[in-house]
Structure 1
């Protein structure tokens, strides 16, 4: 009997315990993410180019149906992608230049606002050090340093922009294979996952761009009407931060509210906060999430975590690319694996939740 047990045990294939597999998977993920972090200066522009090409790619289909050659349709895709990048670049440069030029004109007001905030906090019982630290937010030197950092960031963006332009050409040419009958991946299941992923990315950015444009126009008009300086800059900021899930509204609100406090005191600052809250809460909190949820199918918890996670991994651009990157991880690692249905359900995948 002992010999039989030994033989049966030897005949069974050696397996890895579940806990060990989890540890190996986590260790491999950490190694990959560290590699991504080290190569973020190269991978971040590539991710931007991939998203832009995914958005512009459907332009080729009606052209090919009309008999246009593939190379000419690809050229049109590249032109559309360049147009998208060009508009974004112009918006960022205009906003940055106006912001940098504004600060020297408000040095005295910034110093008065810093003193006012420090005194108000001290009257509430905060220590002198805490009050001074809070008031330092308005310190002119700190804000001038911020302006310098913004200018440096724009210069860095311009450098990365050339990489993005180059990536777009090659990615648009490779994406032409989607129009072939065999698809890109060569299997029906993989092609279905890829098609679903790219469709979700396109719908996500179309929805966000539409709502972002509406929010930006309304915010800019309100700021102009109540006398907040450079409303165009804050409108552009509202448009850009609309692509950052959950916390974008707060990031877009703080700068104009601070400037309103500097130039008009607490009444103007509170008016800006109230106006932003009404406009952005109605559109971004009550209406937009429904359309975004239908487009991507991610849970709110995963969405919020992805903002922090991808910002840490690839830098500030990760906050804007967090949804496509999270969807990519799910498409590559979870959707092809039937054993990952629980993780897909937790992520908010509608294909699993509705089944």
Structure 2
């Protein structure tokens, strides 16, 4: 009698894994549709506390949402205009990089030869094609000009989500078998995600502003672009701040020299130490409830599934999945694996 039970359990696991593969494949193929919806959902989660605060000031909800969206559109237009100007200037200066790289490569050549690495600066220069970089920047500018329509549709989706918030709890309660437990789990997920996103946005904004100010003080060109990059990539856990530091350091190494690049590197290390390792853990409080390994693996998984937006939202998406798993008997063991037991 034991063998059929084992076979049945094994068959159920295989069927569940097959269904999971089908669902994930469908999500990946439908990423162009799902990603804007997910992004709009998380933006609505961040903005809803602001809307609720404005309604407490006796501002009608529709007017509060309209004022908030208008403010966001104005800020977005100003940022895109400044970014477009900076990228245009960057595209014009890219041909200078090839001639400027010759001197740093010649300086590095004797240092590499000490370690038995024989390279020729003249040969390396031949492989550097500024036209490829110019093509990339030009395509980026084209995508930037086409981004306004996507941003408009995204914000329109956010508006309808925010308008739907007062009616949403009643609708969800009617769909649930256990409304009390289900609504408590949804409320906990919203609070966790909102807490993380609001604090992460504030820390990322300060990080970007400090990086911009540091680069401006050191006279680094395109400081605004690198500050904006530091703000955006700071949402990516573990590796985002490292990736944001690479372009400005390489730029300073080419145009400013080795010692100025070391100063910029030290500045980024100080910023990441102060905000990433000291300030952020204290402000976040008890932690995310996720282990460090799970945070890193979630970055890879959601990046594969949803692209760059999945990498930016990897932590809140994993938090939602973990809370959802905790509501089922079979999923609680998986939720324990995702948890950071040191927080308890």
Query: Normalized against structure 2, the TM-score is what?
Result: 0.84
Which one of 116, 130, 141 corresponds to residue 104 of structure 2? 116
Q: Kindly tell me: are residues 155 and 331 of structure 1, through their superposed partners in 2, closer, same or farther at Cα, counting changes over 3 Å? A: farther
- In 2, the alpha carbon distance for the partners of 1:131 and 1:296 equals 50
Match among 156, 161, 175 for residue 165 of structure 2: 175
Offset, 1:49: 0.8
Which ranges of structure 2 fall in alignment gaps of 5 or more residues? Answer: none
Query: Secondary structure of 2:136's match?
Result: helix
Do residues 91 (structure 1) and 79 (structure 2) align?
A: yes
Match of 1:341 among 315, 319, 332: 332
**Secondary structure at 1:338 match in 2:** coil
Instruction: Identify the residue that residue 138 of structure 2 maps to in structure 1.
Output: 148
Cα distance change of structure 1 residues 112 and 207 upon mapping to structure 2, 3 Å threshold = same
Matched position secondary structure for 1:296: coil
1:76 aligns with 2:64: yes
Shift, 1:226, TM fit:
1.3
1:288 corresponding residue in structure 2: 280
Corresponding position of 1:47 = 38
Check whether the contact 2:287–2:343 (CA below 8 A) recurs between aligned residues: no
Matching residue within 152, 169, 182 for 1:162: 152
Give the Cα–Cα distance (whole angstroms) in 2 for the partners of residues 180 and 62 of structure 1: 21
Maintained 8 Å contact 1:56/1:81: no
* 1:25 matched to 2:16: yes
Residue aligned with 2:256, SS: helix
Structure 2 distance, partners of 1:335, 1:76, is: 35
Contact 1:216 1:238 in 2 (8 A): yes
Asked if 2 retains the 8 angstrom alpha-carbon contact of 1:257 and 1:272, the reply is: yes
TM-score, reference length from structure 1: 0.81
Using the alignment, how far apart are the partners of 2:122 and 2:327 within structure 1?
55
- Could you say which residue in structure 2 is the equivalent of 1:243? 235
Q: 1:89–1:246: structure 2 CA closer, same or farther, 3 Å change rule?
A: farther
Classify 1:243/1:78 alpha carbon distance in 2 versus 1 (closer, same or farther; 3 Å). farther
**Alpha carbons of 1:281 and 1:62: their partners in 2 closer, same or farther (altered >3 Å)?**
closer
Displacement of 1:158 in angstroms is 3.0
Number of residue pairs aligned between Structure 1 and Structure 2: 337
- Cα distance change, pair 157–141 in 1 and its aligned pair in 2 (3 A): same
**Residues 118 and 190 from structure 1, CA distance in 2 versus in 1: closer, same or farther, beyond 3 angstroms?**
farther
Residue 38 of structure 1 deviates from its aligned partner by 1.2
In structure 1, the gaps of 5 or more residues are: 1-8
**Whole-Å separation in 1 of the counterparts to 2:183 and 2:168:** 9
Residues 84 and 342 from structure 1, CA distance in 2 versus in 1: closer, same or farther, beyond 3 angstroms?
farther
- In structure 2, how many angstroms separate the alpha carbons of the residues matched to 1:281 and 1:225? 20
Cα shift readout 1:291-324 (whole Å, capped 9, x = no counterpart): 4463632221111122222122122122212122
Query: 1:107 maps to what in 2?
Result: 95
CA distance in 1, matches of 2:145, 2:287: 34
Shift of 1:81: 4.8
Q: Quote the RMSD (CA, aligned, Å).
A: 3.3
Describe the superposition over 1:179-213 as per-residue Cα deviations: whole angstroms up to 9, x where unpaired.
Answer: 66986865111111111111111111221122122
Give 4+ residue runs of structure 1 displaced > 4 Å after superposition: 13-16, 62-68, 127-136, 178-186
Q: 2:256 aligns with which of 254, 264, 269?
A: 264
Q: How does 1:209-224 map to 2 (within 5 A)?
A: 209-224=201-216
How far 1:135 sits from its partner (Å)? 8.6
Alignment partner of 1:193 out of 172, 185, 195: 185
- Could you say which residue in structure 2 is the equivalent of 1:3? none
